[in-house]
Structure 1
Amino acid sequence: MHRIYQKSVFGVSVLFFISVFSQDNNDINNRLIEDQKKFQSEIAKRESNQRQDVERLKSLGFPEFISKDGNDKQLIGSDENGKPMYYTTLNAGAAQMTKANILYAGGSAGLNISGQNMVIGQWDYSKPRTTHELLSGKITYNSSQNQTITRHSTNIAGTMVGNNGEAEAKGIAFNATLHAYDWVNDVSEMLNEAYTPNNTAGILVANNSYGLDPLYLQTYQFGKYNATAQSWDNLMYLRPYLQIVKAAGNSREIDPNIVPQVTAKGGYDLLEGAGIAKNVLVVASAKKNLNMNSDEDFDISSFSSYGPTDDGRIKPDLCAPGETIYSSIETYDSAYGTYKGTSSATAVVSGIITLLQQYYKSVSPSQSYMQSSTVRALLAHTANDKGTEGPDYIYGWGMADSKRAVAAIHDNIEGIIGDYKKSTLIKEISLNQGNKYTLYVVPLDITQPLSATISWTDPQGNLVNNTVDLSTPNLVNDLDLKIVKVNSNGTETVYYPWKLGGMNNLTAAATKNSPNNVDTIERVDIKNPTKDTYKIIISPKTSTTPLLPSGVQNFSIVVSNVDFCYKEDLKILTSPVDDISTPQTIWAKQIVASNKIIAPVQNVEYIASKDIILKPGFQAENSSGFHAIITPCFDIISAFRYIAQKRVSDEGILPEAIKTGSNFTIFPNPSKQEAHIKFRLENASAVKISVYDASGKIIFVNQSNEAFPKGEYLKTIDVSQYASGIYLVSLECNDFKETKKLIKK
């Protein structure tokens, strides 16, 4: 059993999440606009052909609508062989079982998140009962859609947003509203409804509790990357904030005499249609009682379909409660019933995502929503694992856990909450052709795992032939995640992501001994980390040609149990908040210190990748041991050690000459090993320091990434490798630009 690191914050678990993105350049934006126009044209043509195909099949005697055993079915066209294809539906403790209730007013998180001002998209067989007391005033449904009021759509709507009726039937995001549609033109409608920066009223979540009817599928169609999966992948690539959530299906309850595939592989290889898509979140159903004691105390529902896809991807992605879900039904306006199915589990996850998006926006510095890749990374990273450690083709990454997910958002280093020690960072990054992304981290607690998860929204894949279980990967942009530990002897230990064995090894435990070549969600877990620096590296697959066919790929990353990480960071230590009285190490790309190291503390280290500035006010008291190391990319280029023989402070280590009215002073000058630059800022400002040789060639530049506050600073430059001679040192800030001469002995 695998458990990610947790610590207590407002009574919830905490994770470390990094997610990363920068906006595409103009050329890429223009290409996406053209791709969208092309896609809209293709979908319009496909929908027209679909309508004609339905009429053709009806003329041959195939019914357009079928209602049987509680499921509603509709003829939606034919497959590549001209055989009929039907969509079918896949049928109040869910909030407690997934811990979504901790977000509500009065919950243990101290929040008030229940879907206020949020909209969910629902695509289903037909119309929910919009007049039901649980749903009144909460649903928009166009008159051009199928007007038949059905139990399935009413129950799913109530599971997501139901409110103001029976308390036990309250939905997961009970203060949200719904834009509901029938499933006939689902792709074009989702494309138009989706949230974009220019359509801020659009939906972030599309719930699709339906799939292709297994009764009409041939053996090769189970797990096959198909036209439906391709179009849904392209839709999400063009709408990167939209997360489509789809039911895994209930095929394991079907009579194998009717559908032999049900038992042909022991219940595996039963996914179909859009459930094969790379970017769609596919949800299995689990059975969990409210009185179960532990996070792992749940079991897969007897009907829930197992994966994988033909290329061996980890599908389903997650599971959620899908049994004994009490909600609205269509009989009359105060009618309720208990439902089960992967449809219900899917609605639970759609509600959870809505709550997480609402909360994320409220605490994000940019006040923006998560892109869908961030949603998938977050849910996979925080899910409760079941059974053998790692993912599998039954539960995916495990049971969705709202409490863990919201804790990760709450504890985001870049969020706006609190002034306390955090272990979470959330970013979204754009990886360009030929580049890799590297993050340096130090574990917080060596008794807990160090874990990292990435996810990305991949472009649509190529359609494959009708070979049964064709294992060719469907990825277009294959990113690799690995964590590298640099050992003290200079060797490296590489940690790889989880992966499963595919169709040839359906029941084998997940391994983590080599790169993952098929999944768009990758996770690395280091069970027993040491208090050292680890490199988390994300790069395009080196064997792929071209590496990134589109030239750029956005991705999200999540890391938990992190004491310290740096990419472009600045560590400011102030007295008395950061005074040191016990042995410890401070890591950063840049360190600015004005704190105290109190005697007789030994083994105090400042480790930075760029520079360490001992700001006036810094003190190392008598007999304390202080060690500072500059380690860019782990290659030590300079170091100094100071054992205090007397109290050391700005008054004790700075010469009187520095305390003049000059904008900045260099000492010692001439210099042999290090040159110290003392300067004062009268106003907050970014600072740029440059060094030029006698020919005017720039040989050193240091540009701060953010403004330093008003005050005095000391910057140390290693000049030991400079040739003897005369150099010019330039210091530039908002108030002045000045150049001084430096002599190197």
Structure 2
Amino acid sequence: MNVNSQTYHSFTILLVCCAIMWGVQIVSAQTVDQRLKITAGTNITSLNNFKSTLKYEYEANTVLLHKLAEKNNWKLTDTLANGQKVALQEIGDDGSPLYYETFADEAGLVSRATTLNTNGLLGLNLDGENLEVGVWDSGIALSDHVEYTSRMHVGDEGAEVDKHATLVTGSIISTGIKREAKGVANKAKVISHDWSRDKIEVAEAAANGMLLSNHSYGIMADRVPDWYFGAYTKVAQDWDKIMFNAPYYLMVSAAGNAQKSNDNASPLFGRDNDGYDVLLGFTLAKNGITVAGANSEIDKHGNLKKASVSAYSSFGPVDDGRIKPDLAGNGSSILSTDSYSTTSYNLSSGTSMATPGVTGSLLLLQQYHEELYGSYMRAATLKGLALHTADDVDAPGPDYRMGWGVMNAKKAAELLFNKDYNSYITEETLANNTVFSMEIQAMEGETLSASISWTDMASTFVNKGELNNTMKALVNDLDIKITKDGKTFLPWKLNPGEASSNATNGDNAVDPFERIDIPNARGNYTITITHKGKLQNEFQEFSLILSGVQMNACSVEAPQEIEIDTVDEARLNLTWEQNNDALYEVQYRETNQQEWITEYVNENSFAWEGLNLEHTYTLRIRSFCSQNVASEFGYAMTFTFKGAETVLESFNTLNIAPELSFNVFPNPAFNAIQLNLNTTDTTMYRIVSTSGVELKMGKVPNSRIDVSDLPPGLYVLQVQDFGLKKSAKFYKY
């Protein structure tokens, strides 16, 4: 049965009181209503209590660090020969000193985010405006750099300006005064912090409505014993607690650059020089996104042509077999802001630079979802969307080098746009001992993909010194399966004991994200979501994402044959051919008026009232197949109202001869579209995005146009020949 998502209410007074009690300035990244929607689902009491625990631990830890540093001659902070800053942050459960370091050796940045920006391929004009992201790093960014245009604010008093923090911040929000240094979300805001009180400050900001934070640093791999690698330790547990209690907040962290370090002499798999099993610290938190570095080539349409993991990027697995890293950022040396002066720039590299590209892309996807649907996604939905739409690399399924593949913000945005047409996204709640099930129809010949994602409780188990302990950290174990005609399809899974092997299908009992892919799907399938054992807290919120599905039977075509059904003294009833599952937009006016009057109807009929005899009117109609997918308006129909003698006439607003009927088929299209027009050597075409960005143009040989190089989406085709012009929309699979 379907279980409706738990409905939360906004506790305005509680939020404000907690903000005052914590001494936190309410962020200005969203409106008050938007922040309240986010924080309504936040367990503020638990976060407040946990923050107090973190503050107590931090103060006690600071005293202990100074004592042990003096006793053991440890440096509290240091600058390495390559300029990299390190700092003694904590003492591990086994007494090991845990140093934070920045991850910058060779670079990565998600280039597909540019397709969402102003003047980008999709024409969406998404730049992160009025949104805010937190950046924690080895220091704070240079706040008055010209690229930030007063959009960077300092969250820590007394913290030092830092080169690495400035580079990371610029990768997210640089305006683009120097074009090559333009940030992914170049109108967003950053609150910059140093890393010394990261958990405490993030808990405060998440309770206040922060959606995302970037962490391009981690624990130094060459200063810990081997059991730390792949282990679920207290630091991972702490971050999972924050994310579980703030379900709209997502942590994005760099995987690290230890692939060739030989730091783990006792890996769970292979030899110490294979690169596997070198992740540690908060990169192993269940609920965040850990970013690897990739070398990739993207074509002008935003399609991945080839990719490979960067030579520096740290591999998984987690000791319990979880898939980490989660995905990869598009890698190359990138230019960003430098702290030397307010106008300086520098090249930088590493998973440090792959991570802000992913963070910025995720911020744009939140912005787009809010524009389309009026709300932000839960963190589990956002994470699931990124993993669901990542570009797979090499063998099918995930791996322990780049997770689910190279992030594809373009594909993710298209999936959001086509929600309820050929994709589906829902946030649900599974109660204890219940089952979620739904029937779906696959789009013929496409890959049917179904994934579930959830924010899991922090595990009570914490590894305190056992090498390669495989105890799983997952608390609430949800399962997804797809069935058809007695056949069962199961999700991808990896085997940490054979970390270099390809993914297989089976029962995934360790990951809080599961995905099933069925190539060349046909017909109807049943999706079932269950759980193992007893759910902690008696329920588990989860997000379900589907692609390659036919969510309705609607055709993206404007009604063509509009007829008069009945006529009264001042009323005209119009009908047209039914388009299954469509919503119709009807626009009408007196012909001598400039403004259209708009109404929406669910049925294939419209009652036009208040008509005056001998007045001339115009009407046009288009179909909506989902909230966002619509046809062009059909030919406008004009008539002079004469009561029972009224006759409709086609009013061609595009100056093309009425006898030239124009259609595109197949629609939706696969590799080519055919026109039912006899074209000549002079017939030209243009294909533009729905926002007007020209993508292709040329002549129309044999009334056929190749569209195989276009990514999936909705397009406008314009055809012109000697002043005759016509346009139509088509959908490309």
Tell me which residue corresponds to 2:366.
Answer: 357
Which residue matches 1:695?
none
* Counterpart among 133, 137, 149 of residue 124 in structure 1: 137
What SS does the aligned partner of 2:550 have? strand
Q: Are positions 1:534 and 2:525 aligned together?
A: yes
Question: 1:40, CA displacement in angstroms?
Answer: 2.1
Q: List gaps (5 residues or longer) in structure 1.
A: 1-17, 414-421, 566-570, 580-593, 599-603, 605-614, 618-745
Q: Which of 59, 81, 84 is the equivalent residue of 2:70?
A: 59
CA deviations over 1:686-718 (Å, ceiling 9, x no partner): xxxxxxxxxxxxxxxxxxxxxxxxxxxxxxxxx
1:243 and 2:277 correspond: no
> In 2, Cα distance between the equivalents of 1:309 and 1:234?
18
Offset, 1:320:
0.4
Give the alignment partner of residue 405 of structure 2, picking from 398, 416, 422. Answer: 398
Please state how far the C-alpha of 1:165 moved relative to its aligned partner. 2.7
Match of 2:729 in 1: none
The separation in 1 between residues aligned to 2:349 and 2:558, in whole angstroms, is: 58
Distance 1:42 1:393 in 2: 34
Q: Which residue of 1 aligns with 2:500?
A: 507
Q: Which residue of 2 aligns with 1:563?
A: 550
What is the TM-score normalised by the length of structure 2? Answer: 0.69
Does residue 487 of structure 2 align to residue 493 of structure 1? yes
Identify the residue that residue 38 of structure 1 maps to in structure 2.
49
- Are the counterparts in 2 of residues 240 and 371 from structure 1 also a CA contact under 8 Å? yes
Change (3 A) 1:87 1:441: same
Q: Distance in 2 between matches of 1:62 and 1:41?
A: 28
8 Å Cα contact 2:109-2:334 kept in structure 1: no
Note if contact 2:291-2:354 (Cα within 8 Å) is conserved in structure 1.
yes
Question: What is the identity, as a one-letter code, of the residue corresponding to 1:424?
Answer: S
The yes-or-no answer on 1:282 pairing with 2:293 is no
How many Å separate the matches in 2 of 1:275 and 1:216? 17
The alignment covers a number of residue pairs equal to: 537
| Partners of 1:287 and 1:441 in 2: CA distance | 37
Shift of 1:448: 1.7
Equivalences for 1:90-129 in 2 at 5 Å?
A: 90-91=103-104, 98-129=111-142
Kept after mapping to 1: 8 A contact 2:422/2:549: yes
Pairing 1:444–2:443 present: yes
Structure-2 separation of matches of 1:88 and 1:369? 32
The percent identity for this pair of structures is: 31
Give runs of aligned pairs for residues 180-579 of structure 1, distance below 5 A: 180-194=192-206, 199=208, 202-254=209-261, 256=262, 264=272, 266-289=274-297, 295-364=304-373, 367-413=374-420, 422-445=421-444, 447-462=445-460, 463-485=462-484, 487=485, 492-502=486-496, 504-512=497-505, 514-531=506-523, 533-541=524-532, 544=533, 547-564=534-551, 577=559
Q: TM-score, normalised by structure 1?
A: 0.67
1:392 Cα deviation (Å)?
A: 0.2
The answer to whether the 8 Å contact 2:108/2:330 transfers is no
How far apart, CA to CA, are the structure 1 residues paired with 2:108 and 2:371? 21
Give the residue type in structure 1 aligned to 2:211.
L
**1:19 and 1:555 in contact (8 A); partners too:** no
Deviation at 1:22, TM superposition (A): 2.9
What is the DSSP-based 3-state SS (H/G/I as helix, E as strand, rest coil) of the residue aligned with 1:251?
Answer: coil
2: distance between equivalents of 1:331 and 1:36? 38
- Give the aligned CA root-mean-square deviation in angstroms: 3.3
Contact 1:215 1:259 in 2 (8 A): no
Q: Does 1:81 align with 2:81?
A: no
Contact 1:19 1:425 in 2 (8 A): no
Q: CA deviation at 1:311?
A: 0.3
The alignment partner of 2:58 has SS state of helix
Give a deviation string over 1:363-413, Cα, whole Å, max 9, x none. Answer: 01xx11011001111001110000111000001000000110110111112
Amino acid at match of 2:272: A
Distance in 2, matches of 1:30 and 1:118, equals 19
Q: Distance in 2 between matches of 1:429 and 1:550?
A: 15
Choose which of 150, 153, 156 in structure 1 pairs with 2:165: 153
What residue identity is the alignment partner of 1:87? Answer: Y
Q: 1:91-136, CA deviations, whole angstroms, 9 ceiling, x for partnerless residues?
A: 1x99995311111222221221111101010000101111222224
268-277 or 71-80, which moves further after superposition?
71-80
Distance (Å, rounded) in 2 between the aligned partners of 1:208 and 1:308: 20
Indicate conservation of the 8 Å contact 1:19/1:427, yes or no.
no
Kept in 1: contact 2:384–2:543 (CA 8 A): yes
Per-residue deviation, 1:578: 11
3-state SS, counterpart of residue 467 of structure 1: coil
Q: Give the drift of 1:321.
A: 2.2
CA distance in 2, matches of 1:333, 1:80: 43
Query: What is the alpha-carbon distance in structure 2 between the residues aligned to residue 131 and residue 399 of structure 1?
Result: 33
Distance 1:58 1:574, change over 3 A: closer
Question: Aligned pair in 2 of structure 1 residues 252, 138: CA closer, same or farther (>3 Å)?
Answer: same
SS at match of 2:128: coil
Is contact 2:126–2:364 with CA below 8 Å preserved after alignment?
yes
Q: Name the larger-Rg structure.
A: 1
Q: CA deviation at 1:526?
A: 1.0
- Residues 427, 483 of structure 1: alpha-carbon distance in 2 compared, 3 angstrom cutoff: same
Alignment check: 8 A CA contact 2:226 2:264 kept: no
8 A Cα contact 1:214 1:259, kept in partner:
no
8 Å Cα contact 1:74/1:86 also seen in 2: yes
Cα distance change of structure 1 residues 449 and 616 upon mapping to structure 2, 3 Å threshold:
closer
Task: Name the SS of the counterpart of 1:525 in structure 2.
Answer: strand
Please say if residues 163 and 339 of structure 2, whose CA atoms lie closer than 8 Å, have aligned partners that are also in contact. yes
1:269 is displaced (CA, Å) by 0.3
1:287 aligned partner, one-letter code: N
Taking the aligned partners of 1:389 and 1:501, their CA distance within structure 2 comes to: 15
CA distance in 1, matches of 2:212, 2:315: 24
Q: Measure the CA separation in 2 of the matches of 1:334 and 1:30.
A: 42
- Deviations along 1:555-603, whole A, 9 cap, x unmatched? 11111111137xxxxx899999599xxxxxxxxxxxxxx98799xxxxx
CA distance in 2, matches of 1:562, 1:30: 30
CA distance in 2, matches of 1:363, 1:429: 19
CA spacing shift, 1:295–1:475, aligned 2, 3 Å: same
The question of whether the paired residues in 1 share the 8 Å contact of 2:153 and 2:191 is answered with yes
Change (3 A) 1:595 1:258: closer
Q: Which residue type is aligned with residue 449 of structure 2? A: S
Unaligned runs of 5+ in 2: 11-39, 562-574, 581-602, 606-733
Give 1:33 deviation, angstroms: 4.7
